[in-house]
Copies of this chain bind each other. A is one copy, B any other.
Amino acid sequence: MNKDRPYSALVQRLKAAGLRPTRQRLALAKLLFEPQSGGDRHITAEQLHAEAVAGAVRVSLATVYNSLHQFTGAGLLREVVVEPGRSYFDTNVSDHHHFYFEDGGRLQDIPGEQVHLEGLPTPPEGTRVARIDVIVRLSDGESEAS
């Protein structure tokens, strides 16, 4: 609605996270949190950098890494590891799980409420559960008939 201040919501979001709303962070936040094609995103640093460059945003890869980690620290993103040597950053920070398509290397959300995990042992003394990740790895091919 505000064509005059198209970034004001994002500016607030960054400020609230204690991050200065710089040109680079703002542009990256826009790509991450306001995608043209709605919905949540699962993206690597390299991919985001490529998008930025394609969108005529001047930003270094180092800054993309910095920003992704800062956003993650601030709870705006979540880091998901499915393969050695590749980190995905997830704009969906709610409790949820993932399908991982092993061929294409794509992630797809599984809403957290609909999954129930039972029978997990109590965590050892002196530790607490920081997070539970469920990753359903999918490969090509029809599933077996029952």
Contacts and interface: CB of A to CB of B under 8 A. Distances in A.
A interface majority secondary structure = strand
A4 interface: no
A110 B118 contact: no
> Which of A102, A116, A127, A135 has the most B CB atoms < 10 Å from its CB?
A127
Please tell me the size bucket of the interface on A.
35 or more
Count identical subunits in the complex. Answer: 2
A102 B87 contact: no
A134 interface: yes
A90 to B, nearest CB: 14
A127 B114 contact: no
Interface of A: 79, 81-87, 99, 101-102, 110, 114-121, 123-124, 126-144
10 contacts: A81-B81, A84-B85, A84-B86, A99-B124, A102-B130, A114-B121, A116-B119, A126-B141, A128-B141, A132-B135
